[in-house]
Chains A and B, each alone.
Chain A
Amino acid sequence: MEVTRVENVTRVYETGKLETLALRGVSLSIESGEFTALVGPSGSGKTTLLQLIGCLDQPSSGKVFINGKDVSTLNRNQRADMRRGTIGFIFQFFALIPTLSAYENVEMPLLLTGEGSSERRKRVTQLLEAVGLADRSHHRPDQLSGGEQQRVAIARALASKPALILADEPTANLDTANGKQVMDTMTRLNQETGVTFVFATHDPRVIQYARRVVTLQDGLVVENHAAEKLSPGE
């Protein structure tokens, strides 16, 4: 089942009189349960494509579909509604709210979807256990390591049982060991829960985890194929 599809999307950024074509007509379809990497050098359009799929931005032309619904022309609040409960995000800079504990950060999407307190408690506890941080739930981000913060971010992304999780360079700010731990966690959760993961990266060590690789260059998809069946680290 298709989770997301983009049809011939372009994205033009205007800075004063200067126009930058970040995406030049990208078409792509992601199926449910995929673990897909968007790869390419800096400036290839990976992040832009991720933002369009995630309804954080709108295409200059073309269409974006989430679960079959055209989201290209939604307004800001409608896009927020679409993200809530359907799409989870993992950012390279961890993106936790600094004044909230790990527990409260993971709980935030559930508060937004209106879950009851006992359901929230159960889900948050389950997720923190799944990412191995049940004993650190009351710590604030400045009391957690980079790897731990990213795992909290993963738990938060999964909180409202989204259909799709988008990760933008999830290991960019982590050392090798922590990066491996984060990717292992994401892989395991993809296999256990069936949630679709799409992550942007230019790190070869991370690309190895993908079951499918989409390569972008200069705003266009140049390759789109199943990944070679290699174990991570080979």
Chain B
Amino acid sequence: MTQIFRMAWRDLGRNRRRSFFSALAVGLGLALLLFLAAFIQGEMKTSIDTSIRLMSGHLQVRANTYDEVKTSLKWADLVENPQQIADQIAAMAPVKLASPRLYASGIVAVGDETAGVRVMGIDPNSQASLPYKDGLLVGEWLAADDREGLLLGKALTDKLGLKVGDPVNLSVNTSNGEVANQNFTLRGIFSTKTYAFDSANALLPLAKAQAITQAENHASTIFILLKDMNQVDAVAPALQSSQLKVLTWKKMNELLLQLEQLANSYMVFFYLIVLGISATVVINTLIMSVFERTREIGILTAIGMRSRRIMGMFLAESSLLAVGGIVMGLILAVIFIGILAQVGFPVGQMKVTGFIFSDRIYPVLTLKDTVNLSLMALIITLLAGLYPAWLASHMEPVEALRGGK
């Protein structure tokens, strides 16, 4: 075996340039796939992280009958004494924070311009609201007792032509099925760098939201963040009760996760295509090598080398090309992805409703993707070597000896 690999190594060295570029073809193919995989992983991770940060949290506690789509404000569908419940939950060891939120459907009107919004009643002093506070571009943050101020996202204010201090009319559904209407002052403009959120949400202090919607001492949900998100499945059952249901971030981001799965399954075909193209370079290299060494194959056969061993020689060459290519690909990928993981890859504002997509993606290269794709590259390159190896091993000795003259 050592002799075979030694010969294979030396044979590849006969035409170093060709061998280098063949391995590079494998390497570039692998690097491209690793980047794509890291891009998808990064996109999904960023989306999930953003969704957790801005909307779903790790867990939410809601009334059993609450329907997120209908944004019901009936007391029976809301959590009663939400602050008390939030405080109890926050006292649990695995919990980082718990904060009540109220959601309502509303319309923002400025002159003749209107826009549908989701009104979010938040606790401005809670750490849960930091993502919005940190995104404040201009103006001032909300005070908990502010009765006339609201915050809007930049995407919405740009659309409506608003600036800080402008009056904004807000109409909102109430718990008794009516519509309440009030003029507010735009206290500040925020950006979470996610178009879907920034264009569709209006932030009010929780107390004001409860008052205008007549929800009183109720909230739509208790937003919960854990110290370790992997504890979600352990903590969720502890929060369950007969009147309240618990949703995990996986449940609340089901569509996003399914999208990730779909993307990954489609990508497998793409991976195979790219690696197949790289493999054709390897096939070409090895076939040329077989024809250049026809007489040598005849000599080896003449001294008694069996077909299988001759095949093994050429497979050893393809495996060395594969390994060399994989190493090159890994180095290229790690450098390129490493840089992008720090600075991010700008993708612009994705104006897709229903999903939280950030404007910049930070690729994430996982060990699983690295191992799987490297193995795929190895297998496909070895398969590519099969035909040339078979060709070499099935040469008749007399023709092979004659063929090199």
Q: Which of B11, B296, B303 contacts A112 (CB 8 A)?
A: B303
* A84 touching B304 in the complex, CB below 8 Å, given contacts A56-B397, A57-B397: yes
Closest to A107 in B: B3
Contacts of A79 in B (CB 8 A): 397
- Whether B304 pairs with A76 at a CB distance below 8 angstroms is no
A12 within 8 A of B: no
Q: Cα distance A105–B183 when bound, in Å?
A: 95
Of B10, B404, B405, the residue contacting A99 (CB under 8 A) is B10
Chain B residues with CB under 8 Å of A91's CB are 299, 302, 401
Q: State whether A156 touches B396 (Cβ < 8 A).
A: no
Contacts of B36 in A (CB 8 A): none
From residue B291, how far is it (CB to closest CB) to chain A in Å? 16
Q: Please tell me if A109 contacts chain B, counting CB pairs below 8 Å.
A: yes
* Chain B residues near A54 (CB-CB < 8 A): 302
In the complex, the answer to whether B302 meets A56 with C-beta atoms within 8 Å is: yes
- Chain B residues contacting A40 (CB-CB under 8 Å) are none
SS class of chain B's interface: helix, strand, loop or mixed?
Answer: helix
Q: Which residues of the other chain, B, contact A98 by a CB distance below 8 angstroms?
A: 14, 296
Task: Let me know if B299 and A95 touch, CB within 8 A.
Answer: yes
A51 engages B307 (CB within 8 Å): no
B398 to chain A, nearest CB (A): 5
Q: Answer yes or no: A111 CB below 8 A from chain B CBs.
A: yes
Contacts of A156 in B (CB 8 A): 303
A85 part of interface (Cβ distance < 8 Å): yes
Number of A-B contacts (CB under 8 A): 72
Question: Pick the contact of B7 from A83, A85, A100 — CB < 8 Å?
Answer: A100
Contact: B306 with A97, CB < 8 Å? no
Given A99-B10, A99-B11, A111-B3, are A56 and B303 also a contact pair (CB < 8 Å)?
no
Contact with B along A78-104 (1 / 0, CB 8 A): 011101110011010101111110000
Partner of B303, one of A51, A84, A93, A99: A84
Does B221 sit within 8 A of A, measured CB to CB? no
* Cβ–Cβ contact B401 & A85, under 8 A: no
Whose C-beta in chain B lies nearest to the C-beta of A85? B304
Residue interface bits B1-45, CB-to-A below 8 A is 1, else 0: 001000100110110000000000000000000000000000000
Could you tell me if B301 and A80 are in contact, using CB atoms closer than 8 angstroms?
Answer: yes
**Provided the pairs A51-B398, A91-B299 are in contact, do residues A99 and B304 lie with their beta carbons within 8 angstroms?**
no
Residue of A whose beta carbon sits closest to that of B11: A99
Candidates B7, B301, B309, B405; contact of A97 at CB < 8 Å: B7
Instruction: Report the bound CA distance from A93 to B405 in whole Å.
Output: 9
Partner of B300, one of A57, A97, A160: A97
Tell me if B263 is interfacial: C-beta within 8 Å of chain A.
no
Say whether B303 contacts A81, CB under 8 Å. Answer: no
How many of chain B's residues have a CB under 8 angstroms from any CB in A? 26
Residues in B whose Cβ lies below 8 Å from that of A84: 303-305
Q: Is A174 an interface residue (CB 8 A)?
A: no
- A48-88 contacts to B, CB under 8 A, are 51, 54, 56-57, 76-77, 79-81, 83-85, 88
- Shortest beta-carbon distance from A153 to chain B in Å: 10
Q: Are A83 and B303 in contact (CB under 8 A)?
A: yes
Q: Does A227 contact B (CB under 8 A)?
A: no
A146 to chain B, nearest CB (A): 16
Do B3 and A97 touch across chains, with their CB atoms under 8 A apart? no
CA distance A79 to B303 in the complex (A): 10
**Do B398 and A97 touch (CB < 8 A)?**
no
Contact A99/B7 with A56-B398, A93-B405 known, Cβ cut-off 8 Å:
yes
Given contacts A99-B10, A99-B11, A99-B14, contact A108 B401 (CB under 8 A): no
Chain B residue numbers with a CB within 8 Å of A97 are: 7, 296, 299-300
Complex-state Cα separation, A56 to B10, whole angstroms:
27
Q: How far is the CB of B313 from chain A (nearest CB, A)?
A: 11
Cβ distance A25 to chain B, nearest Cβ, rounded Å: 20
Give the distance in Å from the alpha carbon of A3 to the alpha carbon of B340 in the complex. Answer: 73
Q: Is the CB of A81 within 8 A of B306?
A: yes
Given the known inter-chain contacts A91-B299, A99-B7, please indicate yes or no for A81 contacting B397, CB distance below 8 A: no
- Asked if residues A89 and B303 are in contact (CB atoms below 8 Å), the reply is yes
Interchain CB contact under 8 A, B304 and A112: yes
How many angstroms from the CA of A112 to the CA of B313 in the assembled complex? 13
Contact A76 to B398, CB < 8 A, known contacts A91-B299, A97-B296:
no
Query: Which residues of chain B are near A95, meaning CB under 8 Å?
Result: 295, 299, 302, 401
Q: How many angstroms between the C-alpha atoms of A113 and B11 in the bound complex?
A: 23
Q: In the complex, which residues of chain B have a beta carbon less than 8 angstroms from the beta carbon of A99? A: 7, 10-11, 13-14
Beta-carbon contact of A81 and B14 below 8 Å: no
Quote the shortest CB–CB distance from B366 to chain A (angstroms). 40
B70 vs chain A, min Cβ distance (A): 76
- Not counting A97-B300, A99-B11, a sample of 17 additional A-B residue pairs whose C-beta atoms are within 8 angstroms of each other reads A56-B401, A77-B306, A80-B304, A80-B307, A83-B304, A91-B299, A91-B302, A93-B404, A93-B405, A96-B299, A97-B296, A98-B296, A99-B7, A99-B10, A99-B13, A99-B14, A108-B300
Nearest 9 CB-CB pairings of A with B: A84-B304, A99-B10, A56-B397, A83-B304, A57-B398, A95-B299, A89-B302, A80-B306, A56-B398
Q: Which residues of A contact B (CB under 8 A)?
A: 51, 54, 56-57, 76-77, 79-81, 83-85, 88-89, 91, 93, 95-100, 108-109, 111-113, 156, 160
CB-defined A-B contacts under 8 Å, sample of 14: A54-B302, A76-B307, A76-B396, A88-B303, A89-B303, A91-B302, A95-B295, A98-B14, A99-B7, A108-B303, A109-B304, A112-B303, A113-B304, A160-B304
